């Protein structure tokens, strides 16, 4: 049976209106339901967003905390990496071959010592072992040296006990503190055996120095460089300073090395500044001073004595050959005033491709201070002895692997010496040296050759006439650090 459906088009109009009304009502109810559902959904969605936002904020805070911990740990690791270990051990060895020395002789010296006069030899110039302790505000150094310059010798060369502030400041050597600046103020108080803080040549270490040895005036006025006493190092920004109270008897002194024959102490100081003039150019300048009292050894005196002089050479005692020798009274030891003033300067220029170019000069004027070359004793001389020394030099890096240098230095131990009579030895002598150095380097090792042209002002000609003689030399050095 077929079922028929009434068409709305065919239905009466009121029927169509009722159908449309029911459809609208259904649509209105559906819309209302959808609105309620949407409102409920929006409400539920809003509550979830607040919760999620709160959880995200908490996670952000946790992530930020973890990031800060990671950054702090990284900073601590970096600081620990920069901080030196509590105890470090290092050192170096310098072995020289003096291939040529003009004054060398296959002979022994006159007198009772009878030392070899041969200089053309292999020698252990320096062999150092250095132990450094860094603990908070305390810093300690012990350095031992072995060499064969005057026979086999083992000795302490540097022993320091220091207190520094702030603790984060790296301990500088006197040479690095003389040429450098610090962003924060620092002070270091040291007691022990250290380099005398005067000028730059005196405090420069043998590994920091381009040339084999210090200039002549530095070796004469401050032989050995190291002295016992108390020292204060410090600086801030452009200013650096060093002040010391020392025995005044450096370890290389000829009379009383490392000892103090009188109770007077020497006061020594240096004040300097370091600044970048323009890009790639740095200027370092300083002034130094020293004052103290030197020692004049007295005379113990002698007793009266009798001696025999074999006047006729017959080996028989004759009454006329017996001579009485009167005794001499003793004389007490004394002291005398000594001082020195100095100035030093260095210019460092960054040369493209090659490396740094260093130009520097130093001048010192002293009185009664020579303790290493021509001993100054104004009491014995009857007058003051004025010393004058100066040096200029240049060092050019030839890339990271090589360097070349030249230096001229001159030293006069007695500027105001009176003119001697004709044929007599000159008293106003001058020691001058041209030094040419060049070598290669790798890591902590160097192989260097050095030629020195010296004028020996105290030389004597084969005829016995005093005159300046050349004393040229050529030396090779192998250096290894560890």
pLDDT tens by residue, 250-268 = 999 988 998 899 999 999 9
Share of the chain above pLDDT 70, in %: 83
Report whether pLDDT(422) > 80.
no
Q: How confident is the model at residue 221 (pLDDT cuts 50, 70, 90)?
A: very high
DSSP labels, 128-182: EEEEEEEETTEEEEEEEEEE-BTBSEEEEEEEEEEEEESTTSPPPPHHHHHS--E
The angle subtended at Cα 84 by Cα 83 and Cα 86, nearest 5°, is 115
Tokens 């009798």 locate to 306
Per-residue pLDDT for 465 more than 70? no
Structure confidence at residue 163 (pLDDT): 94
Instruction: Answer whether 403's CB lies under 8 Å from 395's CB.
Output: yes
Closest CA to 436 of 212, 234, 245, 256: 212
Amino acid 193: pLDDT: 96
Q: Are 435 and 450 in contact (CB under 8 A)?
A: yes
The candidate with the shortest Cα–Cα distance to 251, out of 231, 230, 226, 229, is 226
* Full DSSP string of 432-476: EEEEEEEEEEETTEEEEEEEEEEEETT-B-TTS-B--EE--EEEE
Q: Is residue 324 predicted with pLDDT exceeding 90?
A: no
Confidence of residue 135 (pLDDT cuts 50, 70, 90): confident
Against a cut of 0.85, is the pTM above it? no
Q: In the predicted model, is pLDDT for residue 477 greater than 60?
A: yes
Q: What is the DSSP letter of 293?
A: E
Task: Look at residue 312 and tell me whether its pLDDT is greater than 60.
Answer: yes
| pLDDT score recorded for residue 417 | 83
The mean pLDDT value of the chain amounts to 84
26-30, 193-197, 396-400: lowest mean pLDDT where? Answer: 26-30
The pLDDT tens digits for 38-57 are 445 445 545 567 777 787 77
Of 389, 343, 350, 393, nearest to 366 by C-alpha is: 389
Give pLDDT, residue 409.
96
Q: What is the reported pLDDT for 180? A: 65
pLDDT band at 463 (very low <50, low <70, confident <90, very high): low
What's the confidence (pLDDT) of residue 287? 97
pLDDT band for 7, please (50, 70, 90 cuts): very low
The pLDDT of residue 309 is: 83
Residue range 196-210: average pLDDT? 91
Note the pLDDT of residue 462.
61
pLDDT of residue 5: 42
In this model, does residue 120 exceed pLDDT 90? yes
Q: What is the pLDDT of residue 176?
A: 67
Q: What is the pLDDT of residue 110?
A: 80
Q: What is the mean pLDDT of residues 325-331?
A: 83
What pLDDT shows up at residue 93?
A: 96
Candidates 286, 278, 324, 282; CA nearest to 303 is: 324
Burial 199-214 (b: 16+ CB within 10 A, else e): bbbbbbebeebbbbbb
Instruction: Identify the DSSP state of 265.
Output: -
Helix (H) or strand (E) holding 367: strand 355-367
> What is the rounded distance in angstroms from the CA atom of residue 198 to the CA atom of residue 389?
14
Tokens of 42: 């929006």
Q: How confident is the model at residue 323 (pLDDT cuts 50, 70, 90)?
A: confident
Q: What are phi and psi of 207, to 5 degrees?
A: -85, -25
φ and ψ at residue 202, rounded to 5 degrees:
-70, -40
3-state DSSP assignment of residue 396: strand
Average pLDDT over residues 165-178: 75
**pLDDT tens by residue, 11-43:** 444 444 455 445 445 544 444 444 444 445 445
């Amino acid at each position: 049976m077929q079922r028929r459906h009434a068409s709305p088009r065919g239905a009466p109009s009121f029927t169509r209106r009722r159908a449309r009304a029911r459809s609208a009502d259904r649509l209105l109810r559906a819309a209302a339901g959808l609105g309620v559902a949407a409102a409920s959904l929006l409400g539920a969605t809003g509550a979830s967003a607040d919760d999620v936002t709160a959880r995200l904020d908490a996670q952000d805070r946790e992530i930020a905390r973890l990031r800060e911990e990671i950054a702090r740990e990284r900073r601590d690791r970096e600081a620990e990496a920069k901080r030196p270990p509590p105890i470090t051990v290092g050192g170096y060895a310098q072995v020289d071959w003096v291939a040529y020395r003009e004054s060398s002789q296959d002979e022994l010296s006159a007198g009772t010592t009878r030392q070899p006069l041969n200089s053309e030899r292999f020698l252990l110039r320096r062999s150092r072992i250095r132990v450094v302790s860094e603990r908070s505000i305390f810093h300690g150094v012990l350095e031992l040296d072995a060499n064969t310059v005057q026979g086999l010798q083992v000795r302490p060369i540097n022993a320091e006990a220091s207190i520094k502030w702030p603790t984060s400041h790296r301990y500088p050597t006197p040479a690095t503190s003389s040429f450098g600046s610090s962003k924060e103020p620092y002070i270091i108080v040291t007691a022990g055996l250290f380099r005398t803080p005067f000028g730059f040549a005196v405090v420069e270490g043998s590994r920091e120095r381009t040339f084999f040895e210090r200039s002549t005036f530095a070796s004469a006025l401050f032989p050995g460089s190291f002295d016992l006493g108390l020292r204060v190092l410090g600086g801030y920004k452009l200013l650096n300073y060093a002040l010391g109270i020392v025995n005044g008897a450096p370890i290389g002194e000829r009379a009383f090395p490392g000892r103090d024959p009188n109770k007077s102490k020497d006061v020594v100081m240096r004040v300097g500044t370091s600044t970048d003039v323009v890009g790639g150019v740095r200027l370092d300048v300083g002034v130094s001073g020293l004052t103290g009292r030197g020692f004049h050894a007295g005379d113990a005196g002698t007793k009266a004595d009798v001696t025999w002089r074999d006047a006729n050479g017959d080996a028989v005692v004759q009454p006329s050959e017996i001579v009485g020798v009167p005794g001499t009274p003793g004389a007490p030891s004394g002291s005398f005033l000594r001082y020195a003033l100095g100035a030093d300067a260095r210019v460092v220029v960054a040369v493209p491709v090659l490396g740094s170019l260093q130009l520097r000069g130093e001048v010192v004027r002293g009185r009664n201070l020579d303790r290493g070359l021509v001993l100054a004793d104004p009491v014995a001389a009857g007058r003051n002895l004025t010393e004058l020394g100066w040096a200029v030099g240049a060092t050019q890096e030839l890339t990271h692997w090589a360097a070349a240098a030249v230096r001229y230095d001159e030293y006069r131990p007695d500027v105001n010496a009176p003119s001697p009579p004709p044929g007599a030895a000159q008293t106003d002598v001058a020691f001058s040296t041209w030094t040419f150095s060049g070598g290669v380097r790798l890591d902590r090792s160097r192989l260097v050759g050095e030629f020195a042209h010296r004028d020996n002002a105290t030389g004597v000609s084969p005829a016995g006439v005093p005159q300046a003689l050349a004393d040229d030399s050529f030396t090779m050095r192998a250096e290894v650090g560890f």
